[in-house]
Structure 1
Amino acid sequence: MSIKLDQARAIVSAALEKGREMGLKPLTVAVLDAGGHLVSFGREDGSSTLRPQIATAKAATALALGLSSRAVAAMAADRPAFVASLGAIAPQGIVPAAGGLLVIGPDDTVIGAVGVTGDLSDNDEACALAGIAAAGLATKE
């Protein structure tokens, strides 16, 4: 099973709305399916030019390692050479910073991932969580 377009759109919409509620800088949100393919994307006016790649890489990081990008950041503190080496083999990049979360389906399997960027990483993650919840889905660390 993979994330559906309507679910991905709901995640993007709710994540951006949460950012506006929090008064954050312009956000960019990418939702990937379980295979790492882009399903839905949103970029607010004023987002800087590299944000689409960062949002996609945060989501891809979660999918690649089966962990949130926050957990990968913690891993990088303990194993910096290992995490640094992943960039060369990860087609969408590796971003070890909060804001990339796995999306779990009703049968407890990974159906996709969301990446949010544009503000502080903790705020990015809060918006990703809001998007996932609004779509009636779950995440795991």
Structure 2
Amino acid sequence: MGLSLEQARGIIQAALAAGRARDMRPLSVAVLDAGGHPIAFEREDGAPPGRFAIAQGKAFGAAMTGMGGRKQMSRAEAQPYFMAALNGVYGGQMVPVPGGVLVRDETGAIIGAVGVTGDTSDNDAAVALAGIAAVGLVGED
């Protein structure tokens, strides 16, 4: 079974709460299904309006490659031409940096991805993982 709207909303709320608890800058959080389609999105007051595209791009890259943003970034550093070509295949929609996190169910199957943007990429990834864990699922960055 895929990621539900209720789970997506729970991930967003928990990620935003984690960001506020860490005194992070205003965040934007996108939750996509395993096919890269948006389920839910929220942008905190004060977050720039263009953050939807970044959050979606982080999550989209994770969903399409089966790699979290941290692994994508490592791959881009090791094989820049490959990742550039892969991003070209997807119309430039991938943002291969931390903050794009895979969502796995209890069997290990990928059921979606979360993208968080607004603070440092490492902080973005940390709150995405916190949001995913809060709904009882497993995140992989």
TM beyond 0.5:
yes
How high is the sequence identity, in percent, across the aligned residues?
Answer: 49
Match of 2:44 in 1: 44
| Deviations, residues 23-71 of structure 1 (Å, cap 9, x unaligned) | 1111000000111111111100111122100000100111111110111
**Which ranges of 4 or more aligned residues in structure 1 deviate by more than 3 Å?**
none
Give yes or no for contact 2:101–2:113 (8 Å, CA) kept in 1.
yes
> What's the C-alpha RMSD, in Å, of the aligned pairs?
1.2
Q: TM-score, normalised by structure 1?
A: 0.95
Q: Number of paired residues? A: 141
Where in structure 2 are there 5+ consecutive unaligned residues? none
Residues 92 and 3 of structure 1: is their aligned pair in 2 closer, same or farther, counting only changes over 3 Å? farther
Residues 77 and 92 of structure 1: is their aligned pair in 2 closer, same or farther, counting only changes over 3 Å? closer
- Counterpart CA distance in 2 for 1:109 and 1:92 is 26
Match of 1:55 in 2: 55
Cα deviation for residue 125 of structure 1 reads: 0.3
- Counterpart CA distance in 2 for 1:18 and 1:138 is 16
SS of the residue corresponding to residue 114 of structure 1 reads strand
Q: TM-score, normalised by structure 2?
A: 0.95
Match of 1:104 in 2: 104
Where in structure 1 are there 5+ consecutive unaligned residues? none
Match of 1:137 in 2: 137
My pick for the range that moved more, 45-54 or 23-32, is: 45-54
The 5-angstrom pairing of residues 1-141 of structure 1 reads 1-91=1-91, 93-141=93-141
